[in-house]
Structures are given as structure tokens and as C-alpha cells.
Amino acid sequence: MPVTNEKVFISPGRYVQGEGVTARAGHYVSALGKIALLIADDVVWKIAGEQLSASLEGEGVSFERAVFEGEASTREIDRLVELGRKQQADVVIGFGGGKAIDTAKGVAEKLEAACAILPTTASTDAPTSALSVIYSDDGEFESYRFYSKNPDLVLVDTGIICKAPPRFLASGIADALATWVEARAAIRANANNMAGGKATLLGATIGEKCEDILFEHAMLAYQANEAQIVTPSFEAVVEANTLLSGLGFESGGLAAAHAIHNGFTALHGEIHNLTHGEKVAYGTVAQLILDQTPQAELEEYLDLYLALGLPVTLKALKLDQASEEDLYRVAEAALKEGESSHNLAYELTPKQIVHAIKAVDVHARAFMEKVGLSE
């Protein structure tokens, strides 16, 4: 991206959140288009497909469901674009998790159609952004793909989300806790945000508020999720995970935490089964270490991550048997040209990243011993 002094803030056209709002999906989608390509996998469809169908049909929106095949890849986007062209879709609906959502955004951009996003988990901040994380068909990070606009509609049904496994909420909390850690680092470095400009005061404030809400409400929300109930704390954390984190990362900026996550995708094996947020959690602690964060603050993050069952040791990350060569592959991938690791105020070497990855494990195990936790 070119260097600029312009401040840029971007956001979705409309954000709707609440228990049972899927019943109103047709009302909101019908304002965007009348022929929908609806992207969802079979698992998601069984959860709430009937309810969504009834809402769309009740508002005169015809739709064809395209089964999402699991990876936000160029091949999958191109396959679904062809279906949308045959259908002459004027609105694309992404119904599901982060990769289905990122795929839907890519399809809508190519079709020049409106875009409606209906997440069924609060596991990532993908729903609101004007970009997709593109992977290979094997799940290795390839690139960020930027779009001309954010989704026209983001509709978040907390009644559906509270029935998802709590692991997904914890993953979203981890993804969202990276927001202010990365945004403040990018702002210090006067780096561009994901929208191609400098952070506005609002962009920075949203990122900071996101972190405040998560430290205050995360555990109460997680407990509500375990009980499959919607509480004020659950609503607050879903909004922080989805809206505040989405606006905060895009209009604030990314840095090392997500770059290290992207590096982890270069490895195969058991780590591939971890969620996006679980890998971001480890990358966030690594960035905190690189940023020379005081011990007391570092331990606040470790304490919450451990309470949520997030991986902060190499064993929990499934990398306790990783070779030095494997860790250098992660570091080199995290430092590729164009990666967000270059948004820091200091230059990094592969060795520094490898040492930071190891330091997360050392500090986490020391903290666990200090508070009487076993690995």
C-alpha cells in the first residue's frame, strides 16, 4: 500500500444484533436484492436453515443454497461465482463461520452483488470487514483480498450463537483481544490500517473499548455460552468479538499477532486443527513479548487465555515436537513481504520471532506454576 497521511474509517452498511433476529433476515435482505445466492454448509443449515428460509420466502426473496465446501480459497470462490452468475443473483448471503463468510464476501465482490453476512458463531471478526483471508485448498494462508466495500448487512442472532460450542466464543475472544494489541502498535509506527490509511480517533477508541469489554465480561459470557443462554454479558462479548473487533482491526491496523498466526498455517499436522483464534492467541502473547510489555500486563492476558482454555504453551499449540526448522518456517512466513508484521515500529528478524514463540511457552509455564495450574 502507498504511504498516506489520510485517515480512513470504514464499516458495514447496517449491523443488527439480538436474540431471534434471523426471523427478521428477510426484511433486511429484501432491501438489498430479490435473488439470493445463499452460501452455507450442511451443519449450519441443519441448525437454522429452515428459519432463515421461511424469513426470506416471507419477504419475497428467492434463493438458491450453495453448499460451502470448507475452505476460503480462490477455487471455491470461483466455483460459487459461476453458480451466482447462472442464477443472476443480486445479493449474496454468507451464513456460517469465518471461512464461509470470507468466501461470500469474495463471491459478492466478483458478482457486483449486495452482500449480507449472517454469522452462526462469534469466533472471528470477519463478518464486518471489507476483506477476506484467502487460503490454499490445503488450508495454508495465501493472502488478504481487499474489496471495494464492506458488507451491506451484518445480522447476528445471539440465540443461534449461544448454542454453538463455547470453544468458538473463546476463539473469538482471542481474535478480538489481538485487536488493540495490534492496532496500538500500528498506530505507534504510523503504519497504514487495513483500509489503506491512518487510524482515526474513532478507529483507535473502538479497539481500546473492545479490550475493556472483553476483560470485564469474557468469563461471564463464556459461562452463559456453556449454559446456552443469552445474558447482557454474552451480548456484550458477541458485539465485541464481531463489531468492535472487526471495526478495530480494519480501521486500526494489524501487526505481529496475525502475521505469526499466518506463519503457523505454513505447518501441517495437529496445529491445523486449531481454530483461527486459538492460533492468534499465541501470536498475541508473542507480540506482547516483542513489544516489551510489563510482566503484570502480560500475565493478565495469560490468566484470561488459560481460563478460556486457549493455547499458550507449545504443547497446547501442538508444537512441542516442532523442530527448529519448523519454527523458522513460521517466522519466515510471518515476515513475508506485505505481511502485517512490518507494521511495527521496529524491524524483526526470523530469529527474534522464533525466540518470541519459545518465550511464550517459557513465560506461560512459569505463570501456571505461580498460580498452581498444571499443563
Residue matched to cell numbers 470453544: 167
Q: Report which of 145, 187, 139 is spatially closest to residue 344, judged by C-alpha positions.
A: 187
pLDDT of residue 356: 98
pLDDT of residue 195: 94
Residue 4 confidence class, pLDDT cut points 50, 70, 90: low
What's the mean pLDDT in 107-122?
A: 98
d(CA 140, CA 127): 21
Residue 83, pLDDT above cutoff 90: yes
Q: By the 8 A CB rule, do 134 and 144 touch?
A: yes
- Write down the domain spans for the chain: 14-162, 166-371
d(CA 16, CA 29): 12
Average per-residue pLDDT for the chain = 96
Residue 375, pLDDT above cutoff 70: yes
Residue 268, pLDDT above cutoff 80: yes
Segment 87-105, tens digit of pLDDT: 999 999 999 999 999 999 9
Q: By the 8 A CB rule, do 371 and 298 touch?
A: no
What's the mean pLDDT in 139-144?
A: 91
Handedness of CA 287, 291, 294, 297 (dihedral sign): negative
Handedness of CA 292, 293, 294, 300 (dihedral sign): negative
Q: For domain 14-162, is the CATH number 3.40.50.1970?
A: yes
Matching fold, domains 14-162 and 166-371: no
pLDDT of residue 130: 96
Give residue 245's identity as a one-letter amino acid code.
Answer: S
Query: Residues forming the annotated binding site for glycerol?
Result: 125, 175, 258, 276
Cell numbers for 29: 435482505
d(CA 165, CA 135): 24
Q: Report which of 272, 263, 10 is spatially closest to residue 149, judged by C-alpha positions.
A: 10
The reported pTM is 0.95
pLDDT of residue 276: 94
What's the mean pLDDT in 104-119?
A: 98
Give residue 224's identity as a one-letter amino acid code.
Answer: A
Which residues have a catalytic role annotated?
Answer: 175, 258, 261, 276
Residue 247, pLDDT above cutoff 80: yes
Dihedral pair phi/psi, residue 372, rounded to 5°: 80, 30
Residue 1, pLDDT above cutoff 70: no
Segment 145-174, tens digit of pLDDT: 999 999 999 999 999 999 999 999 999 999
Handedness of CA 239, 30, 148, 263 (dihedral sign): positive
Q: For domain 166-371, is the CATH number 1.10.540.10?
A: no
Least confident piece of the model among 4-13, 113-122, 214-223, 340-349: 4-13
pLDDT of residue 139: 87
Burial of 340 by CB count in 10 Å (0-12 exposed, 13-18 middle, 19+ buried)? Answer: buried
Query: Residues forming the annotated binding site for NAD(+)?
Result: 41, 98-102, 120-123, 129, 131, 135
